[in-house]
Structures are given as C-alpha cells and as structure tokens.
C-alpha cells in the first residue's frame, strides 16, 4: 500500500502538472497524436509524394535502429572500400545506403536516385518508376559512429523534368539548381531520432521525433525559425583547416573570437546545422587551398540544407566561389557528386562573413 506521505507528494506533483508548472512526462495521446503519415495526408494532396515521404521515414527508422545496435551487431569499423567521393566507407555507410535504395525503389514513386555511396545515378526500372528523383547522403558524419557521436541522413526530392514523362529518365532530371527542390529534409540519429522536413510549397520547416514505443515519427514543432536577432553567438567550423583558409574566413573567425562567440563543432553536418537553426549562429565549411571547390556535396548536402536554412529565416551562401559570391541554391552542379563551399546561418553572422569578401 502507498504511504499517506507518498500519496500527498504524488497529489502535489499532479496538481503542479495540471497548473502547467511542471512539464508532462508523457504528452502523447494515442487517440489524437499527429504522426508522420497523418501529417503528410493532411498537408499534401499528392498521393505519390506522400508514399515517397513515408518510405523515407521508414528508411530513417531502419537506419536509426541500425545505428543504435551497431556495437551489438558488429557494425562498427570500415567496410574496406571507398565511396564515390573518396571517403573510407564504414559498414554502416553500406548498410544505410542499401536501406534507402531499397525503400525508395520499392516505393514506386522514384525515377532517379543519387547516393553519396554510389559512383553513378540509379535509374529505377520502368515497372517500378515514378515521378520523383531523390539525392541523399544515407549516413552523414559516419566517421563519428564508432565513438557514438550523432550522425544523420540528408535528402532532397525533385520532380523529374516534363520531357522525361515521355522518355526514359536520366541524370539530367536531378542535375538542376536547388530552386527546383520539392522537399528537403534530414534525420538526426542522436540522443533522440529527429526528422526535419521542408516542403517548398508549404514554406515551413517541421520537426518530428521518433517515439520508440510506438515506432512512429510524431510531429512536435511547426514553422521552425532562427532565433530573433541571430540567436546565440556560436560559430561552427573545423579550425584545423585554418592554415588553408582565405583572408575573409580567417578575419571572420577572428571577429567571432574577439566578440564573445563560442566555438561548437561536432563534425557531422546534420548535428551542426540542426544546432545552428535552433540556437542561432553560423556554420562554415569554406573552400580552401587544399579543396578549392570545398568538401561538401552540392546535391545531397549543400542544396537541401540551404533550402531548410533559408525557409527557417537564415542565409545559405557559398561565400566567394568561382570568382563571385553566390547563393547556394542558385548553383548548377556539373556532376552528381559536385562540391561547393558552405556558409549557413543567421543573417547576422552570414552577412558579416560575406561583408569580409566585399571589403
């Protein structure tokens, strides 16, 4: 039996909770919660796109499970290969790539797929082909996986070109500017698994959290925006590359240090950009002497993140690239694994960096 003293404490806690002074421990009503499937059906009238996004959600859940069980399942370590961009492949890179390719081909909604882990685009067989093209990095930040640091998936969805409705789809269907993206998103596998998506037509960024007990992504936040005024003073970059940076980036980072900014760098783009959107500040991965085109890939890293950041009220720029300052979404990729410099963040901080180039 419960003691009178414990009963009194429980009653007081419940009373505080009802008054709103304590956060609810469990605030998901199984009868009314908004899961990803329901949210998609209520916010898009495109059935094929709804199926595609549901399959992307399924692939994210499967990848989240694989990351969580990696140590037990013997999935840490290298697979013994390098991917399309010359990075060493981890076992989880290979597995996550297979998960996403299988889910997307079997959705019946995709015509062309581009994965960081594959040298060439996948042209989906006609009997399973649909209207959309997807570029994705199945496991961003996988170099961190062996030490249990957050990783993620990044993706961009395009609708294939009108002429491809009558002809066989090709790489040309996805080799377009970021302005043509229909949906961009990322999924972060950390202390919790979060899915962040942006439908261009809706003009908002939405957050979903994976509830492991339900096996469902639950809608948690609508219309995500950068904090007013630029938010916290945080700069995020790999300062180990500083000897190869140009004067504008060096001057910008020095300005941040001189003006009380904190340095935060995880080394996983999903984690660093997610924090930048929620807290404010700036994320920088510039071109340098060793990598004159930058390191990050245009189609499945730069473009989707730039669209999400801009929709959330931030700025996505390349900085000085090919002789001029460019908006990232305006780039035209020259190949499916093309690279670009990346500067993403609040207008306060990105404008400061770009001002150094204009000075």
Q: What is the spatial distance between Cα 93 and Cα 126, in angstroms, rounded to a whole number?
A: 27
Are 121 and 160 in contact, with CB atoms under 8 Å apart?
A: no
CA nearest to 89, candidates 99, 75, 101: 75
- Which residues make Cβ contacts (< 8 Å) with residue 72, sequence separation at least 6? none
**Catalytic residue positions?**
87, 93, 116-117, 137, 139-140, 301
> 87 — phi, psi (to 5°)?
-85, 145
Are 174 and 299 in contact, with CB atoms under 8 Å apart?
A: yes
Q: What is the spatial distance between Cα 111 and Cα 128, in angstroms, rounded to a whole number?
A: 8
Query: Residue 295 in 3-state DSSP?
Result: coil
- Which residues make Cβ contacts (< 8 Å) with residue 8, sequence separation at least 6? none
Q: What is the spatial distance between Cα 319 and Cα 272, in angstroms, rounded to a whole number?
A: 18
CA nearest to 356, candidates 245, 243, 252: 252
Q: How far is CA 306 from CA 11, 18, 125, 186, 287, in A?
A: 49, 41, 31, 12, 17
CA nearest to 78, candidates 68, 92, 98, 66: 92
- Tally of CB atoms within 10 A around 295: 20
């Amino acid at each position: 039996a419960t003691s009178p003293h414990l009963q009194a404490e429980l009653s007081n806690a419940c009373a505080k909770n009802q008054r709103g002074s304590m956060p609810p421990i469990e605030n998901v009503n199984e009868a009314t919660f908004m899961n990803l499937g329901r949210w998609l059906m209520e916010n898009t009238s495109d059935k094929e796109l709804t199926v595609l996004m549901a399959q992307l959600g399924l692939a994210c859940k499967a990848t989240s499970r694989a990351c969580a069980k990696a140590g037990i399942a013997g999935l840490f370590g290298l697979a013994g290969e390098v991917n399309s961009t010359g990075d060493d492949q981890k076992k989880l890179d290979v597995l996550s790539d297979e998960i996403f390719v299988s889910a997307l081909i079997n959705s019946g909604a995709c015509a062309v797929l581009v994965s960081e882990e594959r040298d060439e685009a996948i042209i989906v067989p006609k009997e399973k082909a649909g209207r959309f093209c997807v570029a994705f990095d199945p496991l961003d930040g996988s170099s961190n996986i062996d030490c249990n640091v957050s990783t993620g998936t990044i993706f961009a969805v395009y609708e294939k070109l009108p002429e491809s409705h009558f002809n066989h789809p090709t790489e040309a269907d996805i080799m377009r500017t970021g302005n043509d993206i229909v949906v961009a998103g990322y999924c972060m596998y950390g202390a919790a698994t979060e899915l962040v998506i942006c439908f261009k037509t809706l003009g908002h960024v939405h957050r979903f959290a994976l509830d492991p007990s339900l096996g469902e992504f639950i809608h948690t936040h609508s219309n995500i925006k950068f904090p007013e005024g630029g938010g916290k003073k945080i700069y995020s970059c790999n300062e180990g590359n500083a000897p190869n940076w140009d004067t504008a980036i060096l001057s910008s980072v020095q300005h941040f240090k001189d003006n009380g900014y904190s340095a935060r760098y995880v080394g996983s783009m999903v984690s660093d950009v997610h924090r930048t959107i929620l807290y404010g500040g700036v994320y920088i991965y510039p071109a340098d002497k060793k990598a004159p085109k930058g390191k990050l890939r245009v189609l499945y890293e730069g473009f989707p993140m730039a669209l999400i950041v801009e929709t959330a009220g931030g700025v996505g720029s390349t900085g000085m690239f090919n002789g001029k300052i460019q908006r990232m979404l305006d780039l035209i990729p020259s190949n499916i694994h093309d690279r670009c410099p990346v500067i993403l963040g609040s207008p306060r901080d990105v404008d400061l960096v770009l001002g150094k180039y204009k000075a």
